[in-house]
Amino acid sequence: MAKKWVYKFSEGRASDRNLLGGKGCNLAEMTYLGMPIPQGFTISTEACTDYYDQKESISQEIQDQIMENLAWLEEFNGKKFGDPSDPLLVSVRSGARASMPGMMDTILNLGLNDVAVEGFAAKTGNPRFAYDSYRRFIQMYSDVVMEVPKSYFEKIIDEVKDKKGIKFDTEMDVDDLKELVSRFKATYKEAMNGQEFPQDAKEQLMGAVKAVFRSWNNPRAIVYRRMNDIPGSWGTAVNVQTMVFGNKGETSGTGVAFTRNPSTGEKGIFGEYLLNAQGEDVVAGVRTPQPISTLEQAMPEVYKEFMEIAQKLENHFHDMQDMEFTIEEKKLYFLQTRNGKRTAPAAIKIACDLVDEGQISEEEAVLRIEAKSLDQLLHPTFDADSLKAGEVIGSALPASPGAAAGKVVFTAEDAKAAGVGGGGERVILVRLETSPEDIEGMHAAQGILTVRGGMTSHAAVVARGMGECCVSGCGDINMDEENKKFTLAGKEFHEGDYISIDGTTGNIYDGQIATVDAKIAGEFGRIMAWADEFRRLKVRTNADTPADAKKARELGAEGIGLCRTEHMFFEEDRIAAFREMICSDTVEEREAALEKILPYQQNDFKQLYEALEGCPVTIRFLDPPLHEFVPTTEDEIKKLADAKGKSVDEIKAIINSLHEFNPMMGHRGCRLAVTYPEIAKMQTKAVIRAALEVQKAHSDWNVKPEIMIPLVCEVKELKYVKQVVVETADAEIAAAGAKLDYEVGTMIEIPRAALTADEIAKEADFFCFGTNDLTQMTFGFSRDDAGKFLNAYYDTKIFENDPFAKLDQTGVGKLMEMSLKLGKPVNPSLHVGICGEHGGDPSSVEFCHKIGLDYVSCSPFRVPVARLAAAQAAIAEKAAKKCDKCGSDSKSFVDDETKAKLEDAAKKAEEIAKELAEQSAEVAKAGLEGLKAGVDAAVKAYKEARNK
Ligand code: ADP
Ligand code: MG
Ligand code: MG
């Protein structure tokens, strides 16, 4: 039987998300619930994948199934597609598994042509409406399917309106719209090299379906996927749906609404609508929509039905719903529902409220919060005093909470160039309105301010998704985008001028207002407490200073996983001594210089131990190449020369000699300790003395130093450095007449270390994956230079993600797994963590949970993210196990004991084979036979076990 590629709404359910996409499966679910849904069908995501497999063409089989379903839809509606007297019109809508609002394309009013529009006008008795629908269709089809720029059409609309001196689209009469249609068609023809606008409805439909498939790979969708961890392999479904019309006059309209406030989480309908409007009008921000509450007076019956269905949907999905609806001559239709995107504060409030309302469990509540979004809660608000002094120059809609101050920029490109990821400046993107092309620039800005658009405008929705502050719809701004300036409150602002915006109040301020960081409290604290209950992974922080350590403790860190000691060498009073050390000729000279640094370093460590109150602190010994510490200015070189009693030229010669071609693979990490053991000695003294001091002052704490040796690739290397550490530490402890436990472990950040982890584990008390270096060395490209070519890798789809941001589970992950598998059996008390940037990335945290790490360590502000992600991984694992158990009859017929025996048998066979193989080539053959026999025996045992 042929594969099924197309499903009627009545044939699916919410559980078919992977196949039908989010929009399609929920349209199916709402149909199942008997709600007023314009009927239609969904072309599956598999058809999209097939389209790409077939070199971007739709197979005959799929085309046939689309036509069969179209025939059904015609019959269902009692209208014919392309009928000149009463045409069936449809929308063609994208819809992927994960909601990607505004990223892909939708076409409305498909099926109209020059003849059908007349029939449509006659049938509806509303020519204005018919021509309005037709001109919209030509516009969208041209843009989406044929990629004729939108601006061509907008320009014509403006000309027609200007000529008549009118402001709104709704003021255009039927003749204006007819003019639009003919001019649009001419524009189309010109742009398409003489090709006429397609008049055949079926051709229109296939063109639109293809365009939606294509839109899966448009640049903004690709960027959105990368930002949201959505795999490129998923594909989008296409929904073909009977049109209903919100543009039929003042008893028609269209809108979007949420069952709870997506900014604050407050319970209650929240939304807006426009009368006599269609589709995009509400979101595009062309006219400013009305709040949903006014619908109660305008159309009480419709309002009542709307409220009932909205509530039903929320109760059904047990989550806040984001709904799209259209009213056609007082008849209400729902066009979409989904679990609404929300800000992090709203997500927290809604999850807690749903638990209190008995709708979801605590575990579900924890799963409901997107770990990455917690960043937002830790985002700044305005400093109260600084705010009081601030001058409010305007206010508009509080579209996405948070506070931001920065320099004004007028284009997304400028924001990208100057902002995060570019020049690193704080910028506020000020625009008439934003469109999906702006997404990267929006990301790079601290905040977004728009002149047009409501709470559900593109800018608002996208900003909320990004956790970025946004104030929208400030009509008081007199904007001159072309000349990069605007006026507000009588003042002219240019590119580079400072403003501040508050996405929680909607206020706009002149100048820069200081911001302050947020705290974990209230409902946020409640969610985090639940998360802590469910997680197994511990969460530590990467911190080098007591201030960072304290912040991280406040945010829930359970220790320090990485303290980089080199940062401590750069400080004013120590760098001189350190440079003297570098330029020394003898061990004694070096020791003398290091002796000067020792008290500083000891004090640093003491403060860290105090900040951590007995929680573990891992201190990594000096890591970077010495060249990074040498002086660069003539002045400094002279100073150093004087201090060492050497000539300037001599110092310069030393500096030159330290130069390396590949410093990242150079004289650094434990290699420094091998060449200059006195550095490791000094650092050990500092660690142990600090620990002894703090332990003595706080007998109730368990101060147990963890000394970490970086960049180890060979066990003998670790053994050598460890011996230096142990001798020094034991002498210090003995001299103090005290008792102190300490550990010596290593970073696993060179592939060879992972490959020989069973050897290294013999000497290490712990492993910590330095996944920045491990990624760099595994891929063989430098993290400092990869940015220059990685874009080409995304464009050509060789990579979907930056491996330095998202852990490469396939390669780097395999090395990690291997290290655990090799290391743990050799040293059962070995504890293992990760301290690269990846430690705070949710999907990487999940991976670390899965392979059995003990802890992750990340920067202080990522600690809550990691705590939540760790809990989510544990909950998901539990759920998966439960699932396995239900299916146990069919799957797990081998019990643990049998499995162990099998593994044992296989291992023995392997050992015998190896032994034999080692004797001679001749005997090796026999060895292989032995192995084969062993495997056969294992297979036999396995079969027996299964039959039991
Ligand atoms: P997006 O995924 O960008 O929200 P949609 O497919 O939901 O795109 O379409 C956008 C809007 O177009 C909808 O909110 C709705 O107002 C309008 N629309 C889509 N399909 C129909 C339809 N069958 N009848 C009337 N309006 C429609
Ligand atoms: Mg939609
Ligand atoms: Mg490293």
pLDDT digits over 218-244, tens only? 888 888 888 787 888 999 999 999 999
How much is the pLDDT for 892?
36
Q: What token pair was written down for 427?
A: 């910028």
Q: How confident is the model at residue 882 (pLDDT cuts 50, 70, 90)?
A: confident
Cα of 770 vs centre of ligand 3, distance in Å, is 5
Per-residue pLDDT at 289 exceeds 90 = no
How far from chain centre, in Å, is Cα 407?
Answer: 26
pLDDT in tens, 607-619: 999 999 999 999 9
What is the sign of the dihedral through the CA atoms of 707, 710, 714 and 716? negative
Tell me how far apart the alpha carbons of residues 314 and 259 are, in angstroms, rounded to a whole number.
7
Max avg pLDDT among 119-123, 522-526, 677-681 = 677-681
Q: Which residue has the higher pLDDT, 889 or 89?
A: 89
Q: How confident is the model at residue 893 (pLDDT cuts 50, 70, 90)?
A: very low
pLDDT in tens, 293-330: 999 999 999 999 999 999 999 999 999 999 999 999 99
For 427, the 3-state DSSP assignment is strand
Cα of 34 vs centre of ligand 1, distance in Å, is 20
How much is the pLDDT for 927?
45
Average pLDDT of 77-88?
93
Position in ligand 1 atom list of the atom nearest CA 282: 16
Q: Whose CA is nearest to atom 10 of ligand 1?
A: 279
Q: What token pair was written down for 299?
A: 């159309």
Least confident of 307-311, 373-377, 710-714: 373-377
Q: What token pair was written down for 314?
A: 């929320």
Which of 846, 844, 815, 848 has its CA nearest to residue 831? 848
Concatenating the DSSP letter of every residue in 547-589 gives HHHHHHHHTT--SEEEEEGGGGGSSHHHHHHHHHHHT-SSHHH
How much is the pLDDT for 946?
58
Position in ligand 1 atom list of the atom nearest CA 325: 16
How far from chain centre, in Å, is Cα 670?
Answer: 35
Share of the chain above pLDDT 70, in %: 92
Concatenating the DSSP letter of every residue in 761-815 gives TTT-SEEEE-HHHHHHHHHT--TTTTHHHHHHHHHTTS-SS-TTTS--TTTHHHH
Report the DSSP pairing between strands 403-409 and 498-502. antiparallel
Instruction: From the candidates 443, 458, 838, 849, give the one annotated as an active-site residue.
Output: 458
615 is catalytic: no
Q: How confident is the model at residue 889 (pLDDT cuts 50, 70, 90)?
A: very low
pLDDT in tens, 262-286: 988 999 999 999 998 888 777 665 6
CB 62 within 8 Å of CB 45: no
275, amino acid identity? L
For 286, the 3-state DSSP assignment is coil
Cα of 254 vs centre of ligand 1, distance in Å, is 10
Greatest distance between any 2 Cα atoms in the chain? 102
DSSP state of 475: T
Per-residue pLDDT at 379 exceeds 80 = no
Mean pLDDT of the chain: 89
pLDDT in tens, 112-156: 999 999 999 998 899 999 999 999 999 999 998 888 988 899 999
Tell me how far apart the alpha carbons of residues 856 and 840 are, in angstroms, rounded to a whole number.
8
Q: Whose CA is nearest to atom 6 of ligand 1?
A: 93
Per-residue pLDDT at 536 exceeds 70 = yes
pLDDT in tens, 429-478: 999 988 877 888 998 999 999 998 877 678 887 787 676 899 999 999 99
Average pLDDT of 66-91?
95
Which of 237, 232, 258 has its CA nearest to residue 321? 258
Tell me how far apart the alpha carbons of residues 307 and 290 are, in angstroms, rounded to a whole number.
17
Report the DSSP pairing between strands 106-110 and 236-242. unpaired
Cα of 37 vs centre of ligand 2, distance in Å, is 14
Q: Whose CA is nearest to atom 13 of ligand 1?
A: 279
How much is the pLDDT for 920?
44
Report the DSSP pairing between strands 427-431 and 403-409. parallel
Q: How many CB atoms lie within 10 A of CB 111?
A: 23
Name the closest ligand to CA 775: 3
For 515, the 3-state DSSP assignment is strand
How much is the pLDDT for 887?
44
659 is catalytic: no
Q: How confident is the model at residue 865 (pLDDT cuts 50, 70, 90)?
A: very high
Q: How confident is the model at residue 890 (pLDDT cuts 50, 70, 90)?
A: very low
Per-residue pLDDT at 888 exceeds 50 = no
Average pLDDT of 638-653?
94
How much is the pLDDT for 791?
82
Name the closest ligand to CA 709: 3
Tell me how far apart the alpha carbons of residues 897 and 928 are, in angstroms, rounded to a whole number.
27
Share of the chain above pLDDT 90, in %: 70
How much is the pLDDT for 938?
59
Tell me how far apart the alpha carbons of residues 545 and 565 are, in angstroms, rounded to a whole number.
10
- Per the listing, tokens 């703090």 go with 694
How much is the pLDDT for 805?
81
Report the DSSP pairing between strands 491-494 and 485-488. antiparallel
- Per the listing, tokens 């000729």 go with 585
Find the residues whose C-beta lies inside 6 A of ligand 1: 38, 91, 93, 101-102, 106, 108, 241-244, 254, 279, 324, 326, 335-336
CB 255 within 8 Å of CB 237: no
Q: 138 CB contacts (<8 Å, ≥6 apart)?
A: 153, 181, 184, 185, 188, 197
Q: How confident is the model at residue 945 (pLDDT cuts 50, 70, 90)?
A: low
CB 822 within 8 Å of CB 758: yes
Instruction: From the candidates 469, 563, 768, 835, give the one annotated as an active-site residue.
Output: 835
Q: How many CB atoms lie within 10 A of CB 850?
A: 14
pLDDT in tens, 475-513: 999 999 999 999 999 999 999 999 999 998 899 999 999
- At 97, give phi and psi (nearest 5°): -55, -50
Average pLDDT of 922-948?
55
How much is the pLDDT for 121?
94
Residue 159: in which H helix or E strand, if any? helix 150-164
Cα of 337 vs centre of ligand 2, distance in Å, is 8
pLDDT in tens, 169-219: 888 999 999 999 999 999 999 999 999 999 999 999 999 999 999 999 988
872, amino acid identity? Q
Find the distance separating the first CA and the last CA of the chain, reported in whole Å: 38
How much is the pLDDT for 774?
96
For 129, the 3-state DSSP assignment is helix
Least confident of 671-685, 751-765, 776-790, 886-900: 886-900
Q: How confident is the model at residue 907 (pLDDT cuts 50, 70, 90)?
A: low
Check: pTM over 0.85? Answer yes or no.
no
Which of 942, 874, 854 has its CA nearest to residue 906? 942
HSE toward the beta carbon, residue 849, CA cutoff 13 A = 26
